[in-house]
Structure 1
Amino acid sequence: MLALALALASSAFSLRLPSQPPAAAAHVALRRALAPPRTAVAAAAATSTPFEFDELGDSWSASGGSSVGVLLLSVGSPETPDDVEEYLYNVFCDPEIVTLPPLLSWLKKPLAWFVAKSRAAEARAAMAEVGGESPQVATVRRQAEALQRTLVARGVDASLFIAMRYWRPYAEEAVAQMKAQNVTRLVILPLYPHFSISTSGSALRVLERMLYNTPGFPTKSTVVPSWFNRKGYVDASARAVQKALASLPEAERQTAQVVYSAQGLPRKYVEFLGDPYLGQAVLTTQVESGVALLSEELRARGVSNPHTLSYQGQVGPSAVPWTEPSTADVITQLGADGTRALVLVPISFVFEHMGTLNEMDRELAAVAEQAGITSFARVETLGTDPDFIDALASVVQEALP
């Protein structure tokens, strides 16, 4: 559903470009109050190393001493069809996605409502096809609970908070909770393996503004921009691929094609980062590196199936180019080349949502069937897999300010 909004934003509105390229030293740039504001988010894409926000905003004194908080970030998702319009409205009101010329800025909110209402029926229909609800928010809550239990078992008495960019709980709610609990040390952890402006980026920008402008924010905060290369995550992902392969007919398990499907972006939106190649170069580098690590782990486990990388989520006018190749095109070509067994891997996601339940399980499965592929399996997202949660716990511990 976010992909739909991005496509509309790319085709229907102008996108404001930063006035200068991202700083080379990302971890330094991100701890400063930078201008233009998007520079920091762009720079975050250049590193997977946690970086600190130092001396930010007005500090407060916690009466009970230092309190540790972990803030999980996600774009969020409408939980029911009744939530769709408000969710889309929030997307189109995001200045990181859509902007208008200054003289027309007064049109932003009414235009956002108009677009949200005009596309709501399509989004509701998509939700109805997968049972009328999205499990994303509920899954993130379970992930937060599992991560907190793991941290406590390791001796880290941390409070877990959730901030969704376009749906509840919003960042403002998380901030209020953190202030109420006197959080003074904070780790910000996006729930996406790879950094992308369309997922982690906008939420990080909102938090940056709060860190610099909201009295009472923690004085020590660390951001983990990506974690695709963590061994526990790679191991858990490899087991999930093995499980999907095992579900195929035995004669096809060793020859089945593995397709790693990453979330795509409109190219015009990627260029929004300032350098027309930076955004895609970073996203592609991280995704390709993640696929290489996962393939290496699978080979170590005796799995050497052929594999390829593609991008999903392409919607909107055909005149708007997206990252390539598209997953649908790759599947179609594989079928034409004689592939009859295929495993689809949602490489960008760790929770089920519309991109997995509708696009993968319904639309791309139908593409595979039409292409003559007779055995199709989709790898389950990791959710609360113990090894995955354990890997996130290690990330948090290492990033504690």
Structure 2
Amino acid sequence: MSPALDAALLVAEPASYDAILLASFGGPEGQDDVIPFLRNVTRGRGIPDERLEEVSHHYRANGGISPINAQNRALKAALEAELAARGIELPVLWGNRNWDPYMPETLQGAYDAGHRRLLMLTTSAYSCYSSDRQYREDIGMALTSLELDGKLAVDKVRQYFDHPGFVAPFIEGTAVSVARVRAALAAAGTPDAPVHVLFSTHSIPTRDAEAAGRSADEPRTFEGGSAYVAQHLAVARVVMDAVDPSAVEGTDFSLVYQSRSGAPHVPWLEPDINDAIAELAEAGTKGIVVVPLGFVSDHMEVVWDLDTEAAQTCAELGLAFDRAPTPGTHPKFVAGLVDLICERTVEHHIAKRPALTELGPWYDTAPANCSENFRGAKPAIAEHGSTVGLVADPVGAAAAGGS
């Protein structure tokens, strides 16, 4: 049996919640915000402002504004509309890890408004430290600093990488993008030229990847040595299998990575998308379709790293290029997120937990020693329960482990 299907790792009973907490990364809203924002993102790493200025050019080129905040506002509004349409009376609150509205302010506002139990929905679908446990650490530290431990409970929905609502927009978008690239090649007189689909996601340190999905009590192995890698590969196969076979006949695909930001001597997941494009061109590929499989919305790492840098690499190599959209506020995605909320609520409860890969449905509570924080122990909320659980040990009890 898949560990994700182990009943001990699922929440047995739904609960009543006062509000939904939409948790995201955050981004600058103007030129003056860029360096302060990057300081927030890199806090504790000792990176000087001179280096931050070097990496700020993609924000500067966009007026210092990250698309992510506007996208979160749109997602919040879409969630509110879907909840209202179903008669679910839960307000949607919004808090960011790295920019206004900051998480502590959102939590304090929730408590002041009389809320005592929140259900958190993050804009990260896959399993690794930065996309799951770090959010719960931020909540745990905020509750501690606000002295709200035991007063305000925050639970979290499962990682939803293979939920139909998240995957469906990628299936639709991949089919459209492949058709566009093939049309471009046909117009150029090479209708049968090789086309390759690159499923792209954020690169992370190899050590963090290997810790994702790991259990000290039940050693597990994943394709690619990581739950993070295995989840992306599994979803990529689902997408390709779901697209009309005639549309993707003879089209290869692979998983690539982008947006690496670590020191050169620290191993991160590879290959980089631009390196992969160059190798494919050398091997005879004439068309590239990029599917940003690791991302929920078209934020800066999609707009810059894919629409700018990857597109430029293809142009320089004479390759046809198209990029599939992210889920954004796609109706199926929004409906799927509300379904995830209903999995955990007493009111409007949905007992069935759909999953499109054999890895899912992913668990609500993670096994011990999973996605540990190698940078130092921090308190983190448990993923479920009627009270806030705080642990300082990053390899602590199962109820507080990351996924």
Partner of 2:273: 327
Instruction: Say if 2:200 and 2:290, in contact at 8 Å, map to a contact too.
Output: yes
Structure with the larger helix share: 1
2:167 aligned with 1:222? no
Write out aligned runs for 1:1-400 (5 A). Answer: 68-93=18-43, 98=45, 111=46, 115-210=47-142, 214-215=148-149, 217-219=151-153, 221-250=154-183, 251=186, 252=191, 255-270=194-209, 281-299=226-244, 303-304=248-249, 305-373=251-319, 375-400=320-345
Contact 1:259–1:309 under 8 Å retained in 2:
yes
Residue 259 of structure 1 and its aligned partner are, at CA, apart by 0.5
Contact 2:209 2:227 in 1 (8 A): no
Please give the alpha-carbon distance, in whole angstroms, between the structure 1 residues aligned to 2:204 and 2:235: 18
**Deviations 1:110-166 (CA, angstroms, capped at 9, x unpaired):** x4xxx2512232233222334542110110111011011101111211111112111
In 2, the alpha carbon distance for the partners of 1:260 and 1:138 equals 25
- Percent identity of paired positions between Structure 1 and Structure 2: 27
Provide structure 1 residue ranges, at least 5 long, that are not aligned to the other structure: 1-23, 30-46, 55-65, 99-110
Q: Provide closer, same or farther for how the CA distance between residues 135 and 302 of structure 1 changes in structure 2, counting only shifts above 3 A.
A: same
1:27–1:155 CA distance, 2 compared to 1 (3 A) = farther
* Paired residue type of 2:341: V
- Following superposition, the deviation at residue 372 of structure 1 comes to 3.4
For the Cα contact (< 8 Å) 1:222–1:399, is it kept in 2? no
Distance change >3 Å, CA 121–CA 393, structure 1 → 2:
same
The answer as to whether partners of 1:86 and 1:116 remain within 8 angstroms in 2 is: no
Q: Mark the CA change 1:227 to 1:189 in structure 2 (over 3 Å): closer, same or farther.
A: same
Distance 1:131 1:52 in 2: 47
Change (3 A) 1:199 1:173: same
SS at match of 1:308: strand
Residue type at the aligned position of 1:349: F
**Residues 131 and 84 (structure 1 numbering): CA distance in 2 closer, same or farther, change over 3 Å?**
closer
2:257·2:273 contact (CA, 8 Å) conserved in 1?
yes
Aligned residues: CA RMSD: 3.3
Give the superposition deviation at 1:70. Answer: 1.0
What code does the residue aligned with 2:79 have? L
Q: Secondary structure at the match of 1:261?
A: strand
Q: TM-score, normalised by structure 2?
A: 0.72
Greater shift in the superposed pair: 67-76 or 386-395: 67-76
Report the CA distance shift for 1:118/1:275 in structure 2 as closer, same or farther (over 3 A): farther
SS at match of 2:227: helix
Q: Deviations over 1:161-187 (max 9, x none)?
A: 112111111111110221133224422
How many residues end up aligned between the 2 structures?
A: 329
Q: Which letter maps to 1:387?
A: K
Counterpart residue type for residue 134 of structure 1: S
Gaps of 5+ in 2: 216-220, 347-403
